[in-house]
Amino acid sequence: MKLKLIYASSVLLLFVLLLTACGSDESNSANQNDNSDSENNGSGTTELEILSWWTSGGEAEALNAVIDGFGEEEPNIEIVNAAVAGGGGSNSQAVLSSRLQGGEPPAVFQAQGGFDLLRWQEGDYLQSLNDLYEENGWRDVFPETIIDMNTIDGEIYGIPMNVHRNNMIWYNKKIFDDNGIEPPKTFADFFEIADTLQSKGIIPLALGDQNPRWSTLLFEMALLNELGAEDFSALWTGNEDFDTAKIRSAVNTFSRMLDYTNENHSSLDWQDAADLVASDEAAMLIMGDWASGFFMSRDLVANEDFGWVAAPGTEDIFNIVNDSMGYPTGVENAEEAEGFLAYLGSAEAQAEFNQLKGSIPARTDIDVSDFSEYSQSAAEDFKNLELNLSLAGGSPVPAGFLSRVDDAINTFVTQRDPDMLINSLEEAKSLLQE
């Protein structure tokens, strides 16, 4: 009887242990499933990537501020900053091209409004943003000029983040004041100033054309001075000759400008050239007004440490560069991505972004009274001056043509052969009509 009781108890104990083990296995299995789900959604957090080339000074601070602002509103969505440095954006665009073609698009990417953005639609890589425009009332707050830059056949493909002015000279106030120099209004003034400074061992014009786009910008300023906004814009129709007296005069002006640049320009990018001005080594820099954000990120004070003036002969022209955000096809977590896009177009995001970047908001309903002194003046100029799309900004021409221009300019910087440059531009002209 006692043995039977012990046996029965043993069987009961084994049964209980088996139940417990099974329960434990089921519990462990459930936990494993829960953990698997948690890994798939980032422990409850959705990740979205934004691809850009905003990596330096004020532009990096501006992007991070927007990412942080969205994070406060949507803590369960993590924005991954996938910015790629170098090449004036070309490195980032190479990464974008690879990812779009490989079916691994970022949620959002930076491009410059116009051809630079819209070329991606040729491969059906962009989603229309018309619905977001309607839902957020953006047609009423973004200028028609900027919306049109990002539109094909009635479909809008970009959210404008800002407006930059490209035709600006930034100058070191201390160097100018110490030498009794006033900012140049004409190229005759510019070369007189450059001669004076060069004779004193000061670099007159800082240049970093490791990316030849920044030499292309110098050439663009010479073209605008010679041609004016209307004839300058007509060049990009493909119907105008490049071998004219005015364009040859612009080439000569460009060549003279190069004579006053730093010897190591080919090993520097634009930020390095800006640092030459910030450190009192160089007097002037021709660059878009993101340079103001860069100088402020170095704790320089507007109109005390640095000043600005329109490039010679362009004081009545606002040479536009616009950064716009594209929305690729095939994006995962589309609802969250569209929420981020809506935030990027909001008044809050645009105010915070542009104050730090040194640009003005693309939205026209934002009070800029708290913006920098420069940005307030740029906002007024945007309203009042003749608007003109920047060649170096990539807006008025196809990417293939602009690449050919950069190559031709890069060759000219080293060889200084006007005929070769003119012939290269003429040969590339067919790309404007594709």
- Judge if 170 and 105 occupy the same domain: no
Q: What percent of the chain has pLDDT over 90?
A: 88
E strand intervals along 241-385: 282-286, 306-310, 317-321, 323-326, 360-361
In this predicted structure, the answer to whether residue 7 has a pLDDT above a threshold of 70 is no
Choice among 48-52, 84-88, 140-144, 317-321 with the minimum mean pLDDT:
84-88
In this predicted structure, the answer to whether residue 32 has a pLDDT above a threshold of 90 is no
Cβ proximity of 43 and 72 under 8 Å: no
Amino acid symbol at 107: A
In this predicted structure, the answer to whether residue 309 has a pLDDT above a threshold of 60 is yes
Element containing residue 188 per DSSP (H, E) = helix 187-199
d(CA 382, CA 374): 12
Q: What is the CA radius of gyration of the chain?
A: 28
Give the three-class secondary structure for 139.
Answer: helix
In this predicted structure, the answer to whether residue 60 has a pLDDT above a threshold of 90 is yes
- Judge if 192 and 308 occupy the same domain: yes
Unique residue bearing structure tokens 């040859």: 248
User: Does residue 363 fall inside a structural domain?
Assistant: yes
In this predicted structure, the answer to whether residue 295 has a pLDDT above a threshold of 70 is yes
Residue 356 main-chain phi, psi, to 5 deg? -85, -30
Short-list 274, 276, 213, CA closest to 86: 213
- Judge if 243 and 333 occupy the same domain: no
Q: 388-429 pLDDT, tens per residue?
A: 999 999 999 999 999 999 999 999 999 999 999 999 999 999
d(CA 286, CA 166): 8
Unique residue bearing structure tokens 């007509």: 234
DSSP 209: -
Q: How much is the average pLDDT of 178-206?
A: 98
Where b means 16+ CB within 10 Å and e means fewer, 356-372 reads: bbbbbbbbeebebeebb
- Judge if 181 and 305 occupy the same domain: yes
Short-list 197, 368, 365, 152, CA closest to 357: 368
- Judge if 341 and 279 occupy the same domain: no
Q: How confident is the model at residue 37 (pLDDT cuts 50, 70, 90)?
A: very low
**Among candidate residues 336, 351, 376, the one where a domain is terminated:** 376
- Judge if 53 and 140 occupy the same domain: yes
Distances (CA, A) of 35 to 28, 32, 75, 254, 332: 10, 5, 20, 63, 21
Residues shown for the chain: 434
In this predicted structure, the answer to whether residue 28 has a pLDDT above a threshold of 50 is no
d(CA 399, CA 396): 9
Q: How confident is the model at residue 197 (pLDDT cuts 50, 70, 90)?
A: very high
First-to-last CA distance in the chain?
A: 101
- Judge if 131 and 111 occupy the same domain: yes
Cβ proximity of 174 and 357 under 8 Å: no
d(CA 158, CA 410): 31
Q: How much is the average pLDDT of 89-118?
A: 95
The token duo for 295 is 């100088």
d(CA 249, CA 231): 15
- Judge if 366 and 236 occupy the same domain: no
Predicted local distance difference test score (pLDDT) of residue 407: 97
Q: 151-166 pLDDT, tens per residue?
A: 999 999 999 999 999 9
In this predicted structure, the answer to whether residue 355 has a pLDDT above a threshold of 70 is yes
Short-list 323, 318, 311, 308, CA closest to 389: 318
d(CA 366, CA 351): 7
Predicted local distance difference test score (pLDDT) of residue 26: 38
Predicted local distance difference test score (pLDDT) of residue 125: 98
User: Does residue 12 fall inside a structural domain?
Assistant: no
In this predicted structure, the answer to whether residue 382 has a pLDDT above a threshold of 90 is yes
User: Does residue 55 fall inside a structural domain?
Assistant: yes
Short-list 398, 355, 361, CA closest to 161: 361
User: Does residue 271 fall inside a structural domain?
Assistant: yes
Predicted local distance difference test score (pLDDT) of residue 186: 98
Element containing residue 276 per DSSP (H, E) = helix 270-278
Predicted local distance difference test score (pLDDT) of residue 56: 87
Q: 208-251 pLDDT, tens per residue?
A: 999 999 999 999 999 999 999 999 999 999 999 999 999 999 99
d(CA 306, CA 283): 10
d(CA 207, CA 260): 9
**Domain of residue 306, CATH code:** 3.40.190.10
In this predicted structure, the answer to whether residue 204 has a pLDDT above a threshold of 90 is yes
Q: How much is the average pLDDT of 31-42?
A: 36
Its domain, for residue 80, covers: 46-164+321-376
Q: 360-378 pLDDT, tens per residue?
A: 999 999 999 999 999 999 9
- Judge if 244 and 366 occupy the same domain: no
Residues with Cβ within 8 Å of 6's Cβ and at least 6 positions away in sequence, in order, are none
What's the mean per-residue pLDDT of the chain? 90
Q: How much is the average pLDDT of 91-112?
A: 96
Cβ proximity of 163 and 289 under 8 Å: no
Predicted local distance difference test score (pLDDT) of residue 40: 39
Short-list 306, 311, 326, CA closest to 388: 311
Predicted local distance difference test score (pLDDT) of residue 316: 97
- Judge if 160 and 170 occupy the same domain: no
User: Does residue 51 fall inside a structural domain?
Assistant: yes
Distances (CA, A) of 29 to 18, 34, 38, 107: 16, 9, 14, 34
In this predicted structure, the answer to whether residue 24 has a pLDDT above a threshold of 70 is no
Predicted local distance difference test score (pLDDT) of residue 43: 57
- Judge if 266 and 407 occupy the same domain: yes
Amino acid symbol at 13: L
User: Does residue 28 fall inside a structural domain?
Assistant: no
- Judge if 274 and 408 occupy the same domain: yes
Q: How many structural domains comprise the chain?
A: 2
Amino acid symbol at 289: D
